[in-house]
């Protein structure tokens, strides 16, 4: 049920990133990496640079442990400074263009009864994703693997945990303008998100919105930022249950060792997003 045909670019990029991270110590050549995407060196270099905005060699620098550790050392300070200064442009805060709202207690109990969720599957720089909205508010953004089913029953199962009573309507045409606005560097109106969450989850997800693009923080830093320094494990659980990927940037939280760690939608995808954001924010 794709709105458009799957774009092979991300799958080729993902294979090359996985190869780069697995073989970093061996310093693979461009030809070796291009082989993973089944492309010539020239075509791979062009495809990768078009996708990331930088060369594969430069991109690899953003995936190193030293780079991640440096970002951890400065990330929280920069987030706080950017918040105070109200920065925009490449240093903009996520919460300048994402408005997060929790459902009311009454809406929580109704579990979506009387509500209509419009949904569709779109392509992104990081592969296909499922987008769901209630009115003008985003309630779901989940990345999908190419082989995952997108039939109506499979889609319904993805909404069942939070919105079991809602009516689901496929509507790619209505959602296309919103989908076009999500993965873009251009200035835009704030995107509104509606989540069904506990007060703790909402607090954690709000903290994620304050991490600027291109920066990372640790689970411990998020726990400290919400005033609960001993709750890093609970923070990790809340981050792992995020229903709106990318826009609520759970991918920007990594281990305090500098390792990127797990991601609900795959470690390779997390690596791709972090490297892509670093490349875009540092250009």
Distance between CA atoms of residues 25 and 15, nearest Å: 17
Q: List residues with catalytic annotation.
A: 250
Contact yes or no for 208/94 (Cβ under 8 A): yes
C-alpha span between 223 and 221 (Å, rounded): 5
Q: What is the distance between the alpha carbons of residues 237 and 249, in angstroms, rounded to a whole number? A: 14
Q: Which two tokens stand for residue 25?
A: 């110590």
Encoding tokens for residue 141?
A: 């953004």
Can you state the angle between helices 199-208 and 232-240, rounded to 10 degrees? 80
Nearest to 253 by CA among 40, 76, 12, 97: 76
CA 226 to chain centre: 21
Within 8 A by CB and 6+ apart from 164, the residues are: 111, 112
Q: How far is CA 187 from CA 181, 209, 274, in A?
A: 9, 17, 21
d(CA 205, CA 115): 24
The helix (run of H) or strand (run of E) holding residue 132 is strand 127-134
Secondary structure class of 244 (helix, strand, coil): strand
The Cα 119–Cα 142 span in angstroms is 11
């Amino acid at each position: 049920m794709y709105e458009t045909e799957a774009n092979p670019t991300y799958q080729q990029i993902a294979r090359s990133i996985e190869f780069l991270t697995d073989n970093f110590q061996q310093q693979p050549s461009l030809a070796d990496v291009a082989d993973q995407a089944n492309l010539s060196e020239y075509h791979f270099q062009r495809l990768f640079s078009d996708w990331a905005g930088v060369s594969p060699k430069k991109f690899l620098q953003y995936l190193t442990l030293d780079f991640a550790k440096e970002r951890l050392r400065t990330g929280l300070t920069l987030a706080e400074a950017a918040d105070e200064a109200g920065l925009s442009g490449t240093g903009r805060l996520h919460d300048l263009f994402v408005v997060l709202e929790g459902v009311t207690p009454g809406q929580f109990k109704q579990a979506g009864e009387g509500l209509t969720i419009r949904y569709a599957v779109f392509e992104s720089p990081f592969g296909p994703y499922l987008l769901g909205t209630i009115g003008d508010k985003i309630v779901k953004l989940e990345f999908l693997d190419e082989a995952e089913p997108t039939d109506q029953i499979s889609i319904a199962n993805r909404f069942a945990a939070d919105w079991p009573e809602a009516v689901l309507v496929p509507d790619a045409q209505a959602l296309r303008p919103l989908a076009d606005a999500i993965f873009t560097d251009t200035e835009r109106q704030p995107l509104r998100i509606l989540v069904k969450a506990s007060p703790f989850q909402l607090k954690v997800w709000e903290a994620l919105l304050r991490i600027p693009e291109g920066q990372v923080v640790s689970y411990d830093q998020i726990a400290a930022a919400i005033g609960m320094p001993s709750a890093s494990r609970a923070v990790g659980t809340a981050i792992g249950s995020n229903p709106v990927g990318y826009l609520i940037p759970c991918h920007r939280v990594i281990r305090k060792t500098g390792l990127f760690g797990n991601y609900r939608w795959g470690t390779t995808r997390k690596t791709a997003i972090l490297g892509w954001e670093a490349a875009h924010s540092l250009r």
